[in-house]
Amino acid sequence: MATHDNTINHARSASIIRSIVKHNIFIPCAFLILLLLINIFINPGFLKVSMGTDSNGHPVLIGNLINILSNATELVILAIGMTLVTASSKGQDISVGATLAISGGVVMRVLCGNETQPSSLHAPIIVALLLGCLAGMACGAFNGILVSRFKIQPMIATLILFTAGRSIASMAMGGLKPKAVSSFGYYGNFIPGFPIPTPILITVLVIIITMLVLKFTNLGLYTRAVGVNAKASSLNGLNPSLIKFLTFVVLGLCVGIAGFVQSSRVQTVNPFTIVPSIEMDVILAVALGGNSLGGGKFNMTGSIIGAYTIQTLTSMLMTLNVNTNAVPVFKAAIIVILVVIQAPIVKAFFSALMADLKSKNNRGKGDDTYVVVE
Partner 1 sequence: MKKVVSLVLALMLVFSLAACNGKDKAKKDDGKITVGVVQTNANESDWRTANTKSMNEAFAEAGFETKMVFGEGDHAKQIAQAQQLIQEEVDYLVILGLQSAGWEDVAKAAKDAGIPLIMADRKLDLTEDLYTAMVCSDFEAEGVKAVDWLKTQDMDEVNIVVLGGDTGSSAQLGRSKAIEDGAAANGWNIVFNQNMKGWDETLAKQAVADLIASGKEFNVIYAENDNMARGACDAMDAAGITYGKTGDVKVIAFDANKWALEKVLAGEFNLDIECNPLHGPRLVSLIQSLEKGEKIEKNVYVEEEMFDAETITQAIVDARSY
Asked if 111 and 184 touch (Cβ cutoff 8 Å), the reply is: yes
Residue 227: which residues within 8 A CB-CB, separation 6 or more?
A: 87, 88, 89, 90, 295, 296, 297, 298
- Which string of DSSP letters, residue by residue, matches 80-127? HHHHHHHHHHSS--TTHHHHHHHHHHHHHHHHHTT-SS-SS-SS-HHH
Choose the binding region for partner 1 from 46-54, 133-141, 207-215, 329-337 (rule: CB under 8 A): 46-54
Is position 54 an interface residue for partner 1 (rule: CB under 8 A)?
yes
Select the residue interacting with partner 1 from 88, 189, 198, 291 (CB under 8 A). Answer: 189
Cβ distance to partner 1 smaller for residue 119 or 325 = 325
Nearer to partner 1, 98 or 125 (CB): 98
> DSSP secondary structure string, 124-177?
-HHHHHHHHHHHHHHHHHHHHHHHHTS---HHHHHHHHHHHHHHHHHHHTTT--
Task: Note whether 278 binds partner 1 by CB under 8 A.
Answer: no
Q: Candidates 138, 159, 228, 266: give the one binding partner 1 (CB under 8 A).
A: 266
Cα torsion 166, 172, 178, 179 to 10°: value is -80
Minimum CB distance to partner 1 smaller for 3 or for 55: 55
Candidate residues 273, 344, 364, 367; the one interacting with partner 1 per rule CB under 8 A: 273
Q: For residue 136, which amino acid is it?
A: G
Q: How many other C-beta atoms lie within 10 A of the C-beta of residue 371?
A: 10
* 44 vs 364, beta carbon nearer partner 1: 44
Q: Which residues contact 157 (CB under 8 A, 6 or more apart)?
A: 143, 146, 147, 150
- Binding of partner 1 by 193 (CB under 8 A): no
268: amino acid identity, one letter: T
Tally of CA atoms within 13 A in the half-sphere of 46 that contains its CB:
16
Nearer to partner 1, 300 or 334 (CB): 334
Residues of span 134-173 touching partner 1 by CB under 8 A: 166-167, 170, 173
Contact 144, 79 (CB under 8 A): no
Q: If binding means CB under 8 A, how many residues of this protein chain bind partner 1?
A: 46
H/E stretch holding 190:
none
Q: Is 136:253 a contact under the CB 8 Å cutoff?
A: yes
Nearer residue to partner 1 within complex by CB, 71 or 233: 71
Shortest reach from residue 310's CB to partner 1, in Å: 14
Closest distance between partner 1 and the C-beta of residue 58, in Å? 9
Q: Which is nearer to partner 1, 71 or 86 (by Cβ)? A: 71
Residue 318 binds partner 1 (CB under 8 A): yes
Q: Which is nearer to partner 1, 116 or 183 (CB)?
A: 116
Question: Within a 10 A sphere around the Cβ of 109, how many other Cβ atoms?
Answer: 23
Ranges within 88-117 binding partner 1 (CB under 8 A)? 116-117
Instruction: Catalog residues that contact partner 1 under the rule CB under 8 A.
Output: 43, 45-46, 52-57, 60, 62-64, 66-67, 71, 116-117, 166-167, 170, 173, 175-177, 179, 185, 189-190, 262, 265-266, 268, 270-274, 276, 315, 318-319, 321, 324-325, 327
